[in-house]
C-alpha cells in the first residue's frame, strides 16, 4: 500500500503539530493525481476535533471537485465545537466567513476560498 489513507493522513497531521497542512496537502495532491478511492474507503475513528473535521471537509471538497462519491462515513465526523478560523489572522475572519466553501462551513471551519488551490 503506497498511498496515504485518510486515517494515516489524519495521524500525520496530528504528529506534524503546527505543520499539519503539509500532510493534508500531500493527501490532496495524491487524491487529485490518482483519483484513488482506496485512500478514503475506510473510516477513521474521531481522535482530534480539528484535524478530523478539516480532513473530512477536505475529502468532501475533493470528492465533489473530482466527481467522486463521498464516502458515507465522512458524514459521521462531527463539527468543531467552536468555530475555527484556519488562517488565525483576525483581519481575515470576515473574508473567511464569506468565502469558506460549504464543505468546511458546516463543520464550523472557516478558510479562504483558495485554501486547497495549488500552483
Residue 57 has, within 13 A of its CA and on its CB side, a CA count of 25
* Residue 116 maps to a domain: no
- Give 34-55 pLDDT, tens digit per residue: 999 999 999 999 999 999 999 9
Residue 119, pLDDT score: 64
Residue 3, pLDDT score: 77
- Give 106-117 pLDDT, tens digit per residue: 999 999 999 998
DSSP letter assigned to residue 108: T
For residue 2, pLDDT over 90 is answered with no
Number of domains in the chain: 1
- Give 51-108 pLDDT, tens digit per residue: 999 999 999 999 999 999 999 999 999 999 999 999 999 999 999 999 999 999 999 9
* Residue 95 maps to a domain: yes
For residue 1, pLDDT over 60 is answered with no
Q: Distance between CA atoms of 114 and 51, rounded to whole angstroms?
A: 19
Q: Distance between CA atoms of 25 and 74, rounded to whole angstroms?
A: 18
* Residue 34 maps to a domain: yes
Average pLDDT of the residues in 10-37:
96
* Residue 15 maps to a domain: yes
Where in the sequence is the domain holding 30, given as residue range(s)? Answer: 6-110
Amino acid at each position: 500500500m503506497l498511498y496515504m489513507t485518510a486515517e494515516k493522513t489524519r495521524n500525520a497531521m496530528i504528529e506534524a503539530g503546527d505543520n499539519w497542512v503539509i500532510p493534508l496537502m500531500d493527501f490532496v495532491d495524491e487524491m487529485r493525481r490518482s483519483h484513488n478511492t482506496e485512500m478514503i474507503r475506510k473510516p477513521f475513528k474521531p481522535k482530534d476535533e480539528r484535524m478530523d473535521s478539516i480532513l473530512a471537509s477536505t475529502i468532501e471538497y475533493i470528492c465533489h471537485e473530482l466527481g467522486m462519491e463521498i464516502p458515507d462515513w465522512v458524514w459521521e465526523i462531527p463539527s468543531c465545537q467552536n468555530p475555527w478560523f484556519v488562517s488565525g489572522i483576525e483581519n481575515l475572519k470576515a473574508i473567511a466567513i464569506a468565502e469558506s466553501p460549504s464543505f468546511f462551513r458546516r463543520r464550523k471551519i472557516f478558510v479562504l476560498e483558495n485554501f486547497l488551490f495549488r500552483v
